[in-house]
Amino acid sequence: MANIVFLGAGSVVFTRELLADIFGFPELTGARIVLHDIDPERLETAEALARRIADHFGARPTIVSTLDRRAALDGADYVVNAIQVGMYPATQRDFEVPARYGLRQTIGDTIGVGGIFRGLRTFPVLAGIAADMAQLCPDAWLLNYTNPMAMNVTYLAAVAPRLKVLGLCHSVYWTVQGLCEIVDVPYEEVTYHSAGVNHQAWILRWERDGTDLYPLLDKAVAADPELRRRVRVDMYRRLGHYPTETSEHSAEYVPWYLGHDEEIARLRIPVGDYLRVSEENLAEYAACRRAVADGTALDIERDTTEYAPQVIHSLETGTTRRIVVNIANRGHVTNLPDGFAVEVPCTVDGVGVLPEKVGALPAQCAAVNRPYVSVGELTVAAAVTGDPRLVRQAAMVDPNAAANLTLDQIWALCDDLTRAHGDLLPEPLRAAVPL
């Protein structure tokens, strides 16, 4: 039976969703579930929650919890990674320090200075996970949900090239769901094709019965001024392909919006939104912990949209599915650099995972992706080589930072964030960088 390990299991709301989907598959109700977290209280809550979910579905899994990562990984078949290094205090620093320089961010977890430093404090933990897996479960799949997704997958490909890694994100699915709602077409009746990078891929084809649905979207946008007040609708109208992440995310990956008060107002951009989301997550965790402790009712519903349970089920049963994954580019997208993670469709079944060769993206879409890729490449290179100058250079080429700060400000900001995060960062990257 499948041996499924959750790293960062203390993210109990997400763990609840994944376990509900896993136990919703009859073939997985007897799985071995191993929960790991570094926070004893969160781990205790996760274990109690897992047992409640299993009872809800009539499942009879083996459930183990441990603070020892190596013990958790020993003999794993699947490792679901949902860690957040530094938790909410680190996220606060990622927003508050740049804000002192006047740099606006919305989510700060993908590129930008927030994404750069989130990646840098995550990479050492990923390196440890990869080393442990090489010793204890070399054939296991690492199913990564941790952001910055593209940087993390790229880093793992560089330091652990034999590790079987899939980066999983539901943004494409929810983008198409939202588009279908706009044009009043059932999601189940459409086909679509997307490719690009995580949080900035593109809907290349979207059809119903072989008919292109983009003209219906054009009519809806033309008829509704409020639709035109979305960042990604604005990007779609100018670039011709719809981006696959929310407007909040999309606004900070490009140089066009966050530096202009009038654009923030026109497009209703929620500056600093991830701080609010993080606080809500903390409150939701507290509520979940109380409910588990009190034995009160929990919202346990099978969602079926998350990819990790689907991947596990397909590999275990041979059920064929077509999903979207993040993998190191090996010619899958020909006009983006090899080695950096791209988000492409793939087929998963009992044989394995087969990513599709997409070919070239539309030239304008690849052009928007390349600055994103450059930030990630330099950040990963900084961690691999231990060169702190590369951290500053990654921030220099970031579209949002470059559009709003001087070079001296960018370097000073990186100095401040380095001091703020301290020993969460790799030791070589804590060194001062004189000009």
Task: List binding-site positions for Mn(2+).
Answer: 169, 199
From CA 163, how far away is CA 279, in angstroms rounded?
34
Binding-site sequence positions: 147, 169, 199
How many C-beta atoms lie closer than 10 Å to residue 167's C-beta?
27
Closest among 79, 1, 91 to 34, alpha carbons compared = 79
Q: For residue 170, indicate whether it is catalytic.
A: yes
The DSSP string of 197-213 is ETTEEEEEEEEETTEES
Phi, psi of 42 (to 5 degrees): -65, -40
3-state secondary structure of 4: strand
Q: Looking at this protein, which amino acid is placed at residue 216? A: L
Q: Which helix (H) or strand (E) holds 328?
A: strand 321-328
Q: In whole angstroms, what separates CA 314 from the centre of its chain? A: 21
**Tokens representing residue 336 in the block:** 């983006």
List, as residue ranges, the binding site for substrate.
147
**Are 267 and 230 contacting, i.e. CB atoms less than 8 angstroms apart?**
yes
Measured between alpha carbons, how far is residue 285 from residues 42, 43, 79, 145, 369 in Å? 9, 12, 22, 18, 35
Q: Determine the residue type at 386.
A: G
Instruction: Measure Cα distances from 399 to 205, 243, 256, 318 in Å.
Output: 27, 17, 9, 43
Query: Which residue among the candidates 36, 56, 170, 193 is catalytic per the annotation?
Result: 170
DSSP string, 172-192: HHHHHHHHHHHHT--GGGEEE
Residues that are catalytic: 170
